[in-house]
Amino acid sequence: MVEQAPVPSSSSAFSFLSKSWRDVRVSADADLQMIRNRANSFKNLTNSLDRELENFINTASTFSVPSISSSTAAEIDFVKKLQPKLSEFQRTYSSPDFSKRVLEKWGPRGSIKINLSAIKKAIASEVDGDGFIDFDRARRRRRVQFRNFRDEEAKEKEYDYWEPIRKFKTRLREFERGSSSSVDIFEGWKSGEFIERFKSSLKAICKDPGDSKVVPPLDVPELLACLVRQSEPLLDQFGVRKDLCEKIIESLCSKRKNQFLLPALSAGESSVAGNDNISDDLDLRIASVLQSTGHSYEGGFWADQGKDDISDQKRHVSIVTTASLPWMTGTAVNPLFRAAYLAKCAEQNVTLLVPWLCKSDQELVYPSNLTFSSPEEQETYIRSWLEERIGFKADFRISFYPGKFAKERRSIIPVGDTCQFIPSKDADIAILEEPEHLNWYHHGKRWTDKFNHVVGIVHTNYLEYIKREKYGAFQAFLVKHINSWVIRAYCHKVLRLSAATQDLPKSIICNVHGVNPKFLKIGERVAVEKELGQQAFSKGAYFLGKMVWAKGYRELIDLLAKHKNDLDGFKLDVFGNGEDALEVQSAARRHDLNLNFLKGRDHADDSLHGYKVFINPSVSDVLCTATAEALAMGKFVICADHPSNEFFRSFPNCLTYSTSEDFVAKVKEAMENEPQPLTPEQRYHLSWEAATQRFLEYSDLEKFLNNENRYCRKSKGTMLKSISAPSLTEMVDGGLAFAHYSLTGNEFLRLCTGAIPGTRDYDKQHSKDLNLLPPHVENPLYGW
């Protein structure tokens, strides 16, 4: 038989109820404290939220953003509409009445009424028919009823007092689902992170380029664009036109075009960077990266090139010639005067680049055994000679390049890459005196790639000289086409001093030579003496020139020998030194000619002032300098009717002949009469001032020098881009240059065409004299 628990008494039942009530009160106090903490927390949250909203709206209104997306604008409008409701909610739930009502409902002073009859009925219902109570089941039922009671009360309070919070949270969830970009926006507001991010974004959009000092390095497309630009000379040799290279550069840089305005650029530079030209932007990009690294490149081959200040933005003219004083030849004297008078106008910087010969070659070339131990010593001699004749101090630079003397050709051959001796910063305009001579064996960078404008001046009629040699006709044929080849490859414009020269591509005829001012002064003195009735000329006729057959000595001896009887009693003084002196004198003695051979001297020498007639039968000259000097001194000049003398025909004292009989008649006419004094216009026509003006006009240098942009070709912004394909002429010229570069790089082919051994690269002696890098050591500043 199962033992049953006895029925509890009334005191036991009330003791159980008191204990249960204490548990309820403890649980209620804990719930009340939790509610109080949550209320305070929410109060703080609303205060913080209100401040962040005001700060956000005020901050957003202070920035000027060009364009804001529609979703962002909608979010800002929602926040503005939400602010008044949040403020009202804050005032309502932060008031003392709200706390009082909560405490009255849940505080300990609240009255709780217990219906004992209901408890009695509950206890009675637990008693079964046998008078026993199942306390386990009673406890479970009371717990369920109490939980239901608490849930109903909490639900009631929630509906009465927390409905705004529930709605607010619902709106927040909807807002979060509607905008993926604002998932944690209110959490960001609470910590201020969102506001800081928003401010940073606005500053990034509107920031000044000068605020940041960090310059990102060049990326791969930019490096490729730089490589294409640096490879333009090589690509040009393959016929790839410059416009096509620019299109490749533009395609590489197009994706980063809007990122070229770098923070490292100053405000002035950033205005330039606004140019739509991709190449200009790439230039600024590279410059900013170099500036951020502290890199500074002055350029130049010599150690002292930093002394040249190009901040005045002057154009730079580099004159390159094939001879130098004290060798008294036209290619040494005329380029020297050209440099002086171009520098005189002070509108451009000028450099004269002349060959430097080792002492063994100097002894063969320079007169009177005159030699120099250093380039500085020779420069001093050149400047002293020049200033004695022009009467002013010429402000231009003299530089040297290595050269070797070819005995067979009686000329100086450049050694190595001549254009590398002109610093890149000065590579603006190049004037090549005798461009065919300079480029026969040129193995280096293309002149037209390094310089903006290249002008060649043809001094010598090489074909006429070569025809006099063995197999002359065949050699002349080859040289004629080689000259055209190198002119097309390396020059933009060519000036021929007269029509006596070979007809070359890109050439026009214009005399751009003048005479030494000293000769013009002599002519002025002669004119004054004639006006005063004094005898200006006391001597007869003379001839002056280097004593080689090609300089007119053969024509002179033939004319005098043929008409020896017609010119009976005619005496001619001959001044000159040269390799053919003995042969010339021997031929004169053989024909028993009345020629008096004298040592060569300067045409301005006092001993020559008294001669009245200058005879020059040469037909190999292009433009005889001695003829112009004789006319400037007011003398008669007898010369052949030849294209080389076309410029002098306009002067009344120039007597030209076309036949040998005519020569005799002109000689008699000159010996019997007095020359006419030159007019001021005629003297100016012979001057270097007039020659310089003609040179600027006919070489197109005038428009280059007057261009405001220092680099009219290097600065891409000044050029109109062409989207057309390269022209056939330019492709052919580029191909010719590449072929010439390839052929001249082979020493065997150089020797086969007559080059001096070892002229492709300078030797140790040149390296020592000019303080150059050792041979076969590549200069990093001058890679091809």
pLDDT for residue 305: 39
**Residue 400 DSSP SS3:** strand
Instruction: Give the whole-angstrom CA distance, residue 482 versus residue 486.
Output: 6
Own/partner contacts of 637-643, CB < 8 Å, gap of 24 or more, are: 637/613, 638/541, 638/613, 638/614, 638/663, 638/666, 638/667, 638/670, 639/615, 640/555, 642/500, 643/498, 643/499, 643/500
Contacts of 256 (CB under 8 A, 6+ apart): 219, 221, 222
Residue 522, pLDDT above cutoff 50: yes
Q: Single out the residue of 522, 496, 523 nearest to residue 509, CA to CA.
A: 496
Report percent pLDDT > 90 for the chain.
33
Report the C-alpha gap between 461 and 499 in whole angstroms. Answer: 10
| pLDDT value of residue 716 | 36
H/E stretch holding 431: strand 429-433
DSSP strand pairing (636-640 vs 611-616): parallel
Give 760's Cβ-side CA count (13 Å radius).
15
Q: Which of 40, 236, 382, 91 shows the shortest CA–CA distance to 727? A: 236
DSSP label at residue 7:
P
Phi, psi of 433 (to 5 degrees): -80, 120
Of 25 and 269, more confident: 25
Three-class DSSP category at 654: strand
Please report the pLDDT score of residue 299 as a whole number. 42
Q: Does residue 52 carry a pLDDT above 70?
A: no
Q: 539-544 and 595-598: which strand pairing? A: unpaired
pLDDT in tens, 535-590: 888 899 999 988 988 888 999 999 999 998 888 889 999 999 888 899 999 999 99
- The reply to whether the predicted model has a pTM over 0.75 is no
Token readout for 340 is 């002086």
Question: Which residue in this structure is represented by tokens 């909203």?
Answer: 53
Average pLDDT for 751-767: 86
As to burial, measured by CB atoms within 10 angstroms (0-12 exposed, 13-18 middle, 19+ buried), residue 615 is buried
Other Cβ atoms less than 10 A from the Cβ of 576: the count is: 20
pLDDT at residue 686 above 50?
Answer: yes
Q: Cβ-count burial of 686 within 10 angstroms (0-12 exposed, 13-18 middle, 19+ buried)?
A: buried
Please list, in sequence order, all residues whose beta carbon lies within 8 angstroms of the beta carbon of residue 217, skipping any fewer than 6 positions away.
Answer: 289
- Residue 722, class by beta-carbon neighbours within 10 Å (0-12 exposed, 13-18 middle, 19+ buried)? middle
pLDDT at 291: 66
- The H or E element containing residue 29 is helix 10-62
- Provide the strand spans (E) within 560-630: 572-575, 595-598, 611-616
Q: Which residue matches tokens 């903490």? A: 37
Q: Would you call the peptide bond into 677 cis, given omega within 30 degrees of 0 as the criterion? A: no
Pick from 352, 373, 325: which is nearest to 421 by CA?
Answer: 352
Q: How confident is the model at residue 154 (pLDDT cuts 50, 70, 90)?
A: low
- CA angle centred on 477, ends 625 and 490, rounded to 5°: 65
Q: pLDDT of 444-496, one tens digit each?
A: 999 999 999 999 999 988 888 888 788 888 888 999 999 999 999 999 999 99
Mean pLDDT calculated for residue range 604-619: 91
Q: Which of 309, 209, 327 is nearest to 258 (CA)?
A: 209
Q: Residue 599: is its pLDDT beyond 50?
A: yes
Q: Looking at residues 296-302, what average pLDDT do you find? A: 42
Residue 63 pLDDT: 43
Q: What is the pLDDT of residue 58?
A: 62
**Partners of 655 in the β-ladder:** 638
Residue 454 φ then ψ, to 5°: -120, 120
pLDDT at residue 150 in the model: 57
Average pLDDT over residues 677-693: 92
